[in-house]
Amino acid sequence: MRRVVLATHNEHKVDELTSILADVVAELDLEIVSMAAFPQIGEVPETEVTFEGNARLKAEAVAVVTGLPALADDSGLSVEVLGGSPGVFSARWSGLHGGEVLPRGEKDRRNLQLLLDQLADVPDEHRAAAFRCAAVSALPDGRSAAVEGRVDGVLLQAPVGEGGFGYDPIFVPEGHSRTMAELSQDEKNAISHRGRAFRALAPHLRDLLG
């Protein structure tokens, strides 16, 4: 069995990706593992200004340090009326708050509230947005592949739903009447930008690792 390192410490993301890439994992006899087993990697600063740039930084760094194939992604929300923002700054849209370390839930709440405040006078017909995700695979020899997945939708004027995280409670995907926060995990995985990105990456993985 060949190990592939996903650039995350979140084991839930490992399980999710193993499910998304189930066919490739079985076909190539792969085991997707997190960075937890490789403390020498450390944190990879996301200093690029595009989703692909940040995902590529992480994947290539992990591949070089571990000597193993690596996967990484970067994602966020792009709001049409804001020219594509928050974009790569989605997770820190409300700022760094003087360096204080905030729990994930509180950070999400502040980011979402700031975005709602910024869009307070924007009518429904101009609240188009998209969740975007870039996924990158990289090998220690320098070969790599990058793809993007996206799901279009509109933003509500107030949060609805208890599931998901981030901007999920105000995002209604195209073709749906419920927010991302109201969808089940299976429903969300079927249409999510992350799911679409990694499914698009699957044939590239076959080419790189087959």
Q: Any idea which residues carry the catalytic annotation?
A: 74
Run of H or E residues at 130: strand 128-138
Taking a C-beta distance cutoff of 8 angstroms, is the pair 148, 130 a contact?
no
**For residue 135, what are the contacts with CB-CB under 8 A and spacing of at least 6?**
55, 71, 72, 73, 146, 147, 148, 149, 194, 197, 198, 200, 201
Of 146, 129, 123, the closest CA to residue 56 belongs to 146
